[in-house]
Amino acid sequence: MLCLWVNGLASLSKNSRRVAIGGVLLAPAVWWADAAMDYFYFSAGESFLESLLRPSPRELWVRLMAGLMFIFFGTYAAFLLDRAERTELELRRSNEKLEELRVELERLVVVDPLTGVFNRRKFHESLGMAIGAAMRHQHLFSLLMLDIDNFKSINDRFGHQVGDDVLRKICDLVGSSIRSADQMFRVGGEEFCLVATAMDAEQARTLAEKVREVVESHQFPVVGKVTISIGIAYFKDGDNQQNIFARADSALYQAKSQGRNCVVYAA
């Protein structure tokens, strides 16, 4: 029995929903036009379900017990037959929903929930891939390590909610200052890393200064001025995750020692 009859089908077939809904199909009442000479080329259920789940441009014929013959052209996926087919459709929809949830869960696994940037787990994965590409294809890159200056005093003086707002805003500012190919990661409380691909040492220094200046020039609500320090390490032959990260961390420590709010490049 026909259970659904959308406006598009009514227009194509010149039969209204009132006429079609509830109509009992002849058996076999559904077949492709190019198989019309062989009534048993498809069973009714197979044909209907195929048209429902895998729309086809082929011509479809449907005949009701009342003798009405409907012919459809073009793509269609708008009618149901019986409970079994409705169940099949619901399963398909459920699977699609599960797939959406799976994708969302995979995203949550690699994203920092507070700031929305990638987390430390994703950082190690991406850094490993960047090193592999640099070793195999000479796709060189720079690693930038950022730390918010005197962040503990912000939390102590204004509270953790204000501190969280500062973290989020800095991520927004940095994110709007880097290229789409660059990736930002939160690797600690107020520490972040940038993996800047296809970027030599001078370009990395220019990017770091740009990011530093963008943060310094922003007026943060409640807090006012906030600055960051940045250490840079450029990929060298033989680098692994541990030593390039250590060089960037050492450069960041030097930036802190030199008075903060500056950029230091690792030797």
pLDDT, tens digit, 9 for 90 and up, residues 60-95: 555 544 444 444 444 443 343 444 544 555 566 667
Q: Which of 166, 176, 158, 161 is nearest to 228 (CA)?
A: 166
- Active-site pick, 46, 59, 99, 190: 190
Domain ranges of the chain: 7-84, 120-265
Q: Is 191 a catalytic residue?
A: no
Lowest mean pLDDT among 35-39, 131-135, 233-237, 262-266: 35-39
pLDDT in tens, 165-182: 999 999 999 999 999 999
7 close to 85: Cβ distance less than 8 angstroms: no
- Choose between 59 and 210: higher pLDDT: 210
Residue 19 CB burial class (10 angstroms; 0-12, 13-18, ≥19): middle
72-98 residues labelled b (16+ CB within 10 A) or e (exposed): beeebebbbbeeebeebeeeeeeeeee
Q: How much of the chain exceeds pLDDT 70, in percent?
A: 65
Task: Please give the single-letter amino acid code of residue 261.
Answer: N
- Asked if residue 19 has pLDDT above 70, the reply is no
Q: What is the pLDDT of residue 267?
A: 76
Give the model's pLDDT for residue 41. Answer: 40
At residue 139, the pLDDT reads: 87
Q: For 208-237, what is the mean pLDDT? A: 97
How many other C-beta atoms are found inside a 10 Å radius of the C-beta of residue 48? 22
Q: How confident is the model at residue 91, as a pLDDT?
A: 61
Q: Which CATH architecture describes the domain 120-265?
A: 2-Layer Sandwich (3.30)
Comparing 19-23, 251-255, 257-261, the range with the smallest average pLDDT is 19-23
Whole-number average pLDDT of the chain: 77
pLDDT on residue 154: 98
What is the tens place of the pLDDT at every residue in 141-171? 999 999 999 999 999 999 999 999 999 999 9
Residue 34 confidence class, pLDDT cut points 50, 70, 90: very low
- Entry pTM: 0.64
Q: Of 235, 236, 227, 267, whose CA–CA distance to 251 is shortest? A: 267
pLDDT of residue 57: 52
Q: What is the reported pLDDT for 196?
A: 95
Tell me which of 86-90, 94-98, 126-130, 233-237 is least confident. Answer: 86-90
Q: Residues 111-116: what's their mean pLDDT?
A: 94
Query: What pLDDT, on a 0 to 100 scale, did the predictor assign at position 119?
Result: 95
191-197 average pLDDT score: 96
